[in-house]
Every structure is written in structure tokens, then in C-alpha cells.
Amino acid sequence: MANTHENKGSCLCGAVKVSASQASDAMGACHCSMCRNWGGGPFLTLDCGTDVEFDGEEMIGVYSSSDWAERGFCKQCGSHLFYRLKPTGQLIMSAGIFDQKTNFDFDHQIFIDEKPEHYAFVNQTENMTGAEVFAKYAPPE
């Protein structure tokens, strides 16, 4: 089970500041085609739950990328901030925006079946296919 702690950070230009009181120290990578299209590679993330405060919220743009989730970014510098699940408000935050850059435990990868062959991580992680992710986390219809 991952530990949680308060973690603070900001976007590249500093217009949006983030304080996540229950940030996980378990870092993951999403290899889905949407994340790779959004950022040019895998999306490295921390699960921050729903207890996240934003300073500069007016600078956050939100794109509804699917029926179940939306993506947030800084309108000024374009930094990727979060992936938010619409039904619960759970925020999966970009690991790179946080001041604490060390001591994350890279322990899981999702949509591993969509990962292209031109990159690979050496860490031993829990790997889940897209079907496994939806079976575990998708809200019942």
C-alpha cells in the first residue's frame, strides 16, 4: 500500500500552484494513446485523491477527453496538471509538477498493451492492460 503525504508544486510558469494533502508516493505511467497524444510520451502520475487545492484556478483550462475523464492544463504555459475522473473527482496529477522530485516509488503502469515498442522502463512494476484498468476502476453502468 502506498504512503500519502502533502505535496506542493506548480506549473512551469508558476501561474497555477497546487497543494495535494493526500498525494500518493506511488508513481505510475499511463501509456494510453490519449496520454501519449496529449504529452508526446507516457503520462507519469501520482494519485492525489480529491483533496487538492489550486491557487490560480482561473488559469486552469479543462478539456473533456472522454465520457469519464477530463484533463487540466495551465492556460498560460500549457503544463499538464491533471487527469480528473468525472464520477468521483479523483485527481491523477502530473508527477513532474511537484516540488518533491525524489522518493516516488515507480510501481505501476497502465494501458501497457498500448505502449509502443520504442521505449521501455527498467523498473519492475505492476502492469495492467486497458481492459484490466476498466474492469477494476470503471464505474458500473
Percent of residues, the chain, with pLDDT higher than 70:
95
Task: List, in order of start, the domains of the chain with CATH numbers.
Answer: 4-137 (2.170.150.70)
Q: What average pLDDT is seen over the chain?
A: 93
Confidence of residue 19 (pLDDT cuts 50, 70, 90): very high
| pLDDT at 30 > cutoff 70 | yes
What lies within 8 Å, CB to CB, of 141 at 6+ separation is none
The pLDDT of residue 70: 97
Confidence of residue 127 (pLDDT cuts 50, 70, 90): very high
In tens, the pLDDT along 96-118 reads 999 976 678 999 999 999 999 99
